[in-house]
Structure 1
Amino acid sequence: MRTNRVRTTALAATALVAALSLTACGGEDKAMGTKAAGSAAPTATSTDTTATATEGTAQPDAPKAGTPDTQTVPAEGKHAGGNGEGKKPETAPNEKAAPSIPACTPKNSKVKVSSVSRPINHLLLTVTNTGSTNCAAYYAPFLRFDGAQAVYPILDDSKPQAVVTLSPGEEAYAGIALLGEPGQNEPVPSDNVGVIMVDRNNQSKGEATLKLPADTATDGLGFVTYWQSDVENALMF
């Protein structure tokens, strides 16, 4: 498997418990330039969500794939940054002014995880807008396998040209590579994964806990992609 460029940040482990207990931030921010989402779903065995409240906290950039660096959810009001200080979040490419679009969250969407036959050692995340108005799948899903404090690496090279906006009933996708380069780390079985969804300002809007397909194992050196408008883009990395 080729090495992919991802961003790294080290944040304090003690902030996790406080971060997961906070309530939702008020108001939705203005959305970035948008891209229509596809509606095709993969043929795969999937599991549904059990949502838990983790609103109002900023999410970190993920560690670089292939390294054991610990990544934690930061405290309220702090964005991703190497020193833990308030850092203005990145904006998506080709950002344009647009009407305010709420983030897709466990309250207005449904998230599921599916096994796929190709590529090997991959899973597929699918988020479906179950509300009555549009929602935006911002950035990437922040993953925590089996409740770990460290969040899974995010593949920066998978950043789309525009944020994926979903009409009611539409879907967005993210690919999960479970393993890094062969022989680096021993894969560890995992039963569940927490999927943290964020708004335009990279603030947590809730976490959905999913049961993983049987025999799922990760060595911590894989990655998750940004949200994509179709399955092919999500699984091409």
Structure 2
Amino acid sequence: MSGLRTSRTRLAAAAATAVLAALSLTACNDGTGAHDEGAAATTSTSSSSAAASSGAASGSTGSTGSTGSTGSSGGRSTGGSTTGSKPAADGSASKASGASGKPVTCEGSDTRTVAAPLNRPVNHMLLTVTNTGSRTCFLYGYPAVRFGEAQSVPPVIEDSQPQAVVTLEPGQSGYASVSLSATDGSGSNGHTAKSLAVYFQGRSMSGSVGAGAHPSLPAKGVYVDDSLKVTYWQQSMNDATNW
């Protein structure tokens, strides 16, 4: 009897164990236990991957922002380093200009002088002085010209005096005309001159300053007489040829 009870007890215990195992199996498969945690882990992993993808996309956009930086580079071409380099070049020009210093008196060493006979007015010649220096220069008064071996310079036509001193920026030109001889033949001591020297006056207009200029004349020379006279320096060619 006692052995029978023991067997029953063991059977009951085994049955209880089987029931517990079945309950555990049910708990694992009903979506609430370890299976749920695995799903949550999977969801969490998916979220992390999405976040990583999003971050990569952001980084990629940031890189496009870098391309935006290239755009910024493009921006630099208009307002950044390229523009900065352009003002630098301009700045160099300004510096060179600033280094030029204050204006000086125009004279033979910083100008080029050309003498050209005119058809109108007749018996006239045009003197063109161009500033070849790096600084602004002033053409004071009128040209002191000497044709050939002349010992004196001709007088100036007083009515031709301009309202302001002729100012030449580098590369600019000033003008004066020379009346070589009387058109009616009334002049005396007429002769043909083969050479010409042009001298420049200073601010005080009391004499010549600096180097003179020696523009060439036509091969046959020019005819001059005692009626020889010059105009004041003019800012424009038209003003010079009006006399």
TM-score by length of 2: 0.54
Aligned to 1:77: none
Structure 1 gap segments, 5+ residues each? 1-98
Aligned to 1:114: 116
1:233 aligns with 2:239: yes
Report the Cα distance in structure 1 between the residues aligned to 2:138 and 2:186, rounded to whole angstroms.
38
Cα deviation, residue 190, structure 1: 0.4
Instruction: Describe the superposition over 1:55-80 as per-residue Cα deviations: whole angstroms up to 9, x where unpaired.
Output: xxxxxxxxxxxxxxxxxxxxxxxxxx
Instruction: Describe the superposition over 1:30-65 as per-residue Cα deviations: whole angstroms up to 9, x where unpaired.
Output: xxxxxxxxxxxxxxxxxxxxxxxxxxxxxxxxxxxx
State the 4+ residue runs in structure 1 displaced beyond 4 angstroms: none
Q: Secondary structure at the match of 2:238?
A: helix
Report the Cα distance in structure 1 between the residues aligned to 2:151 and 2:187, rounded to whole angstroms.
21
Letter in 2 for 1:189: T
Aligned to 1:196: 199
The one of 146, 149, 162 equivalent to 2:148 is 146
Aligned to 2:222: 216
Instruction: Describe the superposition over 1:176-234 as per-residue Cα deviations: whole angstroms up to 9, x where unpaired.
Output: 11113523325210001110112102242221122222341001212110000111110
Q: Secondary structure at the match of 1:147?
A: coil
* Kept after mapping to 2: 8 A contact 1:164/1:228: yes
Report the Cα distance in structure 2 between the residues aligned to 1:166 and 1:117, rounded to whole angstroms.
26
Report the Cα distance in structure 2 between the residues aligned to 1:184 and 1:112, rounded to whole angstroms.
26
The one of 109, 127, 130 equivalent to 1:128 is 130
The structure with the greater share of residues assigned to helix is 2
Instruction: Describe the superposition over 1:109-168 as per-residue Cα deviations: whole angstroms up to 9, x where unpaired.
Output: 111101222111000000000011100010000011113211112111111000010000
Report the Cα distance in structure 2 between the residues aligned to 1:114 and 1:189, rounded to whole angstroms.
15
Letter in 2 for 1:195: V
Percent of aligned pairs sharing the same letter: 36
Q: Which protein, 1 or 2, shows the higher relative CO under an 8 Å CA cutoff with sep ≥ 6?
A: 1
* Kept after mapping to 1: 8 A contact 2:113/2:127: yes
Count of residue correspondences: 139
Structure 2 gap segments, 5+ residues each? 1-100
Report the Cα distance in structure 2 between the residues aligned to 1:125 and 1:101, rounded to whole angstroms.
22
Letter in 1 for 2:106: C
Report the Cα distance in structure 1 between the residues aligned to 2:214 and 2:226, rounded to whole angstroms.
18
